[in-house]
Amino acid sequence: MDRRWVGLDGYEVVGAVRAGRQVLRVRRNGWLVADCTSVAEVARHVDLADLCEVIEMPARRRAERSPAARTSSHHR
């Protein structure tokens, strides 16, 4: 589970494994709030409507040559 959701007031929900079982770990400002076994249990700690999934974008490869910086003709 590589998904992560963030919400208001520093809440974060991530997938984790506890005692060999998958859980949804709720943290607030980095501190553990609860390990939940269901979405309903997560909803007791944070409003689900406030959560947004964080999507990691793949890194861009650097271009072989950077384009030369140019000045605008408006700045002569």
Asked if 47 and 62 touch (Cβ cutoff 8 Å), the reply is no
> pLDDT of 52-67, one tens digit each?
999 988 887 776 666 6
pTM given for the model:
0.72
pLDDT greater than 70 at residue 6: yes
> pLDDT of 7-47, one tens digit each?
999 999 999 999 999 999 999 999 999 999 999 999 999 99
Asked if 33 and 45 touch (Cβ cutoff 8 Å), the reply is yes
CB atoms within 10 A of CB 26: 22
pLDDT greater than 60 at residue 76: no
| 55: phi then psi, degrees, rounded to nearest 5 | -110, 120
